[in-house]
Structure 1
Amino acid sequence: MSTKMIAAGASALALTTVLAAPASAGPTYTSENGGSFQWYGQVNPTFQSYDDGEEDFSRLLDNANSGSRLGFWVEQPFGENTLKFRFETSLSLRGTDGVNQNDQGDVTDWTRSDLRHVDLQWHTPRSGVFSIGQGSMAADGATGIDLSGTGVAANASVADAAGGYFLRDAAGALTGVEVGDVFATFDGSRRGRIRYDSPEFAGFTISASYGEDILTENADTEQYDIALNYANDDLGDFTVEGAVAVNWTDRSGAERRDTIASAAVLHEPTGLSLSVAGGDRDTGGNYGFVKVGYTASLIAAGKTSFSMDYYDGSDMASVGDTAESFGIAAVQKFDKQNLEAYVAYREYSYDDTATTYQDGQAILAGARWKF
C-alpha cells in the first residue's frame, strides 16, 4: 500500500505540473438586448490503480466522480424573468467506473446517452423555475451534499472510483459481482423531464419532476420524484446544507421507491466539516455514509482539504449481504488556474450469505481543470 501511495502521489504531482497553466475561462458574449452566451467545461484525467486481491491494474482514465464535460448557456431576460437554455455533454472518455479485469474499453465512445442537458428553463423570481428537456430530475444530487472540499476525489458515490471491477471469491476466481452492483447510493437521475422548483423561502426549496429515459433505446422507464433542499451560509460560524428526496421508478412494469437524503455542516473558522448520506430502496437495499473533513489555507495557491469517510450498506444484491467501504482523500486547489489536484485511497469489502469475497483497493491521483 505504501509503494502505491508514493506512486500515486508522484503521478498527481506530475499531472499537476502539466496542467497547472493559466486557465482560459470560457468567455461570455452579450447582445444589445441583454442576451448572453457562455460556454464552460472541465477535464478530469486521473491515474487509477486497483488491487482485486490477486492482481493489480493501473490505467490513465477519466474520473467518474466528476467526469470530463463540455457545455454552454444561452440566456435572455424578459423583464424580471429570464429564459435560459443549457446544453451539456459528457466527453465520454474511458472512466474509472467503466473498466474491469477483462476489458478496458475504448478511449472514447460517445453515444446519445452521454447528453447530460438539453434543457429549456423559465426563471421567475415570484413563481420559481419551470424546466423542460433532458436534465436533472428533482432527486438528482440529493445524496451528494458535501462541504469537505474533497468531493472530486471521494464522496458518497464510493463506486465511482472502481465500479466496473469484478470481485474475487476466496479461491481467487472472478465472480459476476461488480463493485458498482453492491455499493449504490440510489441518487436521482437525468431524464427527459418536466420539472418545477419553488422560490427559496428561509433557505428551503421544493422541487418536483416527471420524466422518462428518452436516450436509451427501448428503455421503457418512467420516473417521478419530489425533493426538499436547504442551504444557509449565514448561521453564525456555520454553513449548513441538506436535501431529502423520494423517487418512484416504473421500469417495464416493475415499480420501486427510493428514499434518499444527505446533509453537511461546515464550521468556517476551523475548516472542520461533517457530511452524512443515506438511502433505502423498498425492493431491497439500504446504506449509510459519513464523512469528516478539514480545510485549511496551507499555501498561497489555494485551500488544502483532507477527508475520511465510511460507507455501510446491506441487502444490495441479495438478502443478508453486507458492503463496507473506507476512504481517505486530499485535494489541493490552485485558484488562479481553476485546478484541483488530488489523491485518494479506497477499500471495498463485500460478503453475502453464500460466498466470501476478497477485498479490493483503489487509488486515484489526478487533477480537475475547469474552464
Structure 2
Amino acid sequence: MSVSFRSGLSAVALAACAAGPALAGPTYTSASGGTFTYYGQLSPSYLSVDDGVDTQGDLVDNVHSNSRVGFYLRQPFGANTFQFRFETALGLKASNKVGQTSDPSNLDWDRTNLRHVDFSLSGAFGTVSAGQGSMASDNIATMDLSGTTLVMGQSVTDAAGAYQFTTSGGALSGIKLSDAFASYDGGRKGRIRYDTPSLNGFVLSASYGTEILASGNDDEYYDITVRYEKEFGEYTVNGGLGVAWTDKQTGTDTRDTVASVSLEHSSGLNGTLSYGDRDTSGDYIYGKVGYKMKVFAIGSTAMSLDYYSGNDLVSTGSESEAWGVGVVQKVDAYNVELYASYRNYSLDDNSGTDYNDLSAVLVGARWKF
C-alpha cells in the first residue's frame, strides 16, 4: 500500500471518528401543530485512480451521496399538509470533478449546490410541488434495494467522472468517463410537479422545469413516470419507468426512456436492473447482485457486484463497460456507514485508438445527523 493511499485512509478514518456520536436532528413543534426538523450528513472519502499510465489519489466528497445540510418546515391544514424544504450540498471537492487535468478547490460553494428550495402541498389528492427540487424522473434509473448505493450504483461515474481514458501510447484521449457512461436520470430543476396518491403500490408523477441555478441555459424539461413499491411475503420490489423530454434552445431535442427495478428477499439476497436510452445517442444496461447480512454486532453489512454495458455513448459503434464490487458496513450506535469499492472501466470504439482500462478505489465514511 502506497504512502499516499495510507494517508488518505487515515484522514478518512479521523474525519469519521471526529464526528462522534450522532446528534439526531430534533423536531420542534409549534402550538398550531407545525414542525421544524433539520438534518445533514458528511461523506468524506479517499479516491485513488489508476488510468493505465499514472496513479492519482485525493481526498474528496463522495458524490454517490454528498455532504449536505437541510431542514423541513411542515404545517397541517385540516387533512392537508404544507411543507417547505431547504437543502444544500456543502460545496466540498466532488469525487466526480477530480481528474488528470482538473483539481477543484476543497471548498467552492455556489448556487448550483442548492438541491432543494421547494414548496409542496399534500393530501388525499396527492402532492403538488413547486420550486428547485426533483423532477418526476429524478432517481427513476436508480431503484436499488442493495444497501450499497452509498458506494456503487447505476451512475457509475459518480466516483471518477472527470478522469480521461488514456491511449495505449500514454496520452490523454480527451474522452472522460462521464462521456462514456451515461445515466439519463432526471435530476433536479426549478419545476412544478404532481404526484398521485399511491394506487395499490403505483404512483404516477409528471413535471415541467427549467434550469434556474445556472445562467445561459434556456432549455425546457418535462417528464412523466410511474413508480411501484410492494411487498409480497418474503419479497420486496421497487421499480420505475419514465420518459423525459428536453426541448433545447440550441441543438437537437432529446427524449430519454429509463427504467429500473430491484428485488430483495428477506434472506438479504437482492438484485437490480436498470436500462436507459436516448433517442439521439446510445443506450445502456446495468445489473447488480447483492447480499445483506449481520456479521458484526455493530450493524448490518451489505455487499454487491455490478456490471454496466453502454453502446454508442461516445460515438457510433463505441462500447463502454464497467464492473465493480463494494461493501457498506453500518455502525448503528454512531449513525455512521463505512464503505469501500473497486471499479474497472473500459472503452472500445471505431477510431483505431486503443484505450487503457481505468480503475478506481473509493473508501470513506458517511455520518448522518
CA contact (8 A) 2:102 2:162 kept: no
CA contact (8 A) 1:12 1:342 kept: no
Deviates more, 1:75-84 or 1:20-29: 20-29
* Partner AA of 1:351 in structure 2: D
Contact 2:26/2:37 (<8 A) preserved: yes
Q: Give the equivalent residue in structure 1 for 2:106.
A: 107
Q: Provide Cα deviations, 1:102-150, integer angstroms capped at 9, x if missing partner.
A: 22111111111111111000001x2100001010000000011111111
Equivalent residue in structure 2 for 1:313, among 304, 310, 313: 310
Is this contact kept in 1: 2:53–2:170, CA < 8 A?
yes
Counterpart amino acid of residue 49 in structure 1:
S
Kindly report the root-mean-square deviation, in angstroms, between the aligned alpha carbons of the 2 structures. 1.7
Read off the aligned partner of 1:87 and give its amino acid letter: F
> What corresponds to 1:235 in structure 2?
232
SS of the residue corresponding to residue 154 of structure 1 reads coil
8 A contact 1:185–1:278 mirrored in 2 = no
Deviation of the 1:14 alpha carbon? 3.0
- In the alignment, what sits opposite 1:48? 47
Counterpart AA for 1:264: S
- Structure 1 residue runs of 5 or longer lacking an equivalent are none
Deviation for aligned residue 1:296 = 0.4
Letter in 2 for 1:323: S
Contact 1:248-1:258 within 8 A present in 2 as well? yes
> Partner of 2:253: helix, strand, or coil?
strand
Contact 2:347 2:357 in 1 (8 A): yes
Deviation readout 1:83-105 (Å, 9 max, x if unpaired): 00001111111011001112211
Give the TM-score taking structure 2 as reference length.
0.96
SS at structure 1 position matched to 2:222? strand
Deviations 1:154-174 (A, max 9, x none): 000001110001111110101
Per the TM alignment, residue 336 of structure 1 is displaced from its structure 2 partner at its CA by 2.0
1:194 corresponds in structure 2 to 192
Corresponding residue of 2:333: 336
Q: Give the corresponding residue for 2:68.
A: 69
State whether structure 2 residue 197 is matched by structure 1 residue 216: no
Partner of 2:280: 283
Residue 161 of structure 1 aligns to a residue whose secondary structure is coil
SS of residue in 1 equivalent to 2:13: helix
1:178 matched residue in structure 2: 176
Give the aligned partner of residue 116 of structure 1: 115
Pair 1:111–1:74, CA change in 2 (3 A): same
Q: Deviation of residue 18 (structure 1)?
A: 1.7
Give the Å deviation of 1:215.
1.0
Q: How many residues align?
A: 366
Aligned to 1:345: 342
Question: Counterpart amino acid of 1:116?
Answer: R
**TM-score scaled by length of structure 1:** 0.95
Q: Report whether the alignment pairs 1:85 with 2:84.
A: yes
**SS state at 1:181 partner:** helix
Structure 1 contact 82–122 (Cα < 8 Å) conserved: yes
Query: Comparing 67-76 with 99-108, which one deviates more in the overlay?
Result: 99-108
8 Å CA contact retained: 1:195, 1:207 = yes
Instruction: Mark the runs of 5 or more structure 2 residues left unpaired by the alignment.
Output: none
What is the Cα deviation at residue 16 of structure 1?
Answer: 7.6
Q: 1:21 deviation in Å?
A: 2.3
- Separation in 2, partners of 1:339, 1:236: 30
Tell whether 2:94 aligns with 1:95.
Answer: yes
1:10 Cα offset (Å): 5.4
Instruction: Tell me the secondary structure at the aligned position of residue 65 of structure 1.
Output: helix
Letter aligned with residue 35 of structure 2: S
| SS at 2:157 equivalent | helix
Q: 1:303 to 1:206 in 2, by over 3 A?
A: same
**Residues 25-44 of structure 1 mapped to structure 2, 5 A cutoff:** 25-44=24-43
Q: Whole-Å Cα distance in 2 between the matches of residues 335 and 86 of structure 1?
A: 27
Contact kept? 1:326, 1:346, Cα under 8 Å: yes
- Looking at structure 2, the residues matched to 243 and 85 of structure 1 have their Cα atoms a distance apart, in angstroms, of 26
**How far apart are residue 300 of structure 1 and its match?**
1.4
Q: Structure 2 CA distance, aligned partners of 1:359 and 1:214?
A: 37
The superposition leaves residues 249-303 of structure 1 with CA deviations (integer Å, 9 ceiling, x where unpaired) of 01224310000011100001x2100011110000011000000001101111110
Structure 1 residue 351: deviation in Å?
A: 1.5
Q: Aligned equivalents of 1:13 and 1:106: distance in 2?
A: 18
SS of aligned partner of 1:26: coil
SS at match of 1:18: helix
Instruction: Look up the SS of the partner of 1:224 in the other structure.
Output: strand
Secondary structure at 1:158 match in 2: coil
Residue 139 of structure 2 corresponds to which residue in structure 1? 141
CA distance in 2, matches of 1:54, 1:72: 45
CA distance in 2, matches of 1:249, 1:178: 23
3-state SS of 1:342 partner: strand
Deviations 1:220-276 (A, max 9, x none): 1110000000011x31001100011000001224310000011100001x2100011
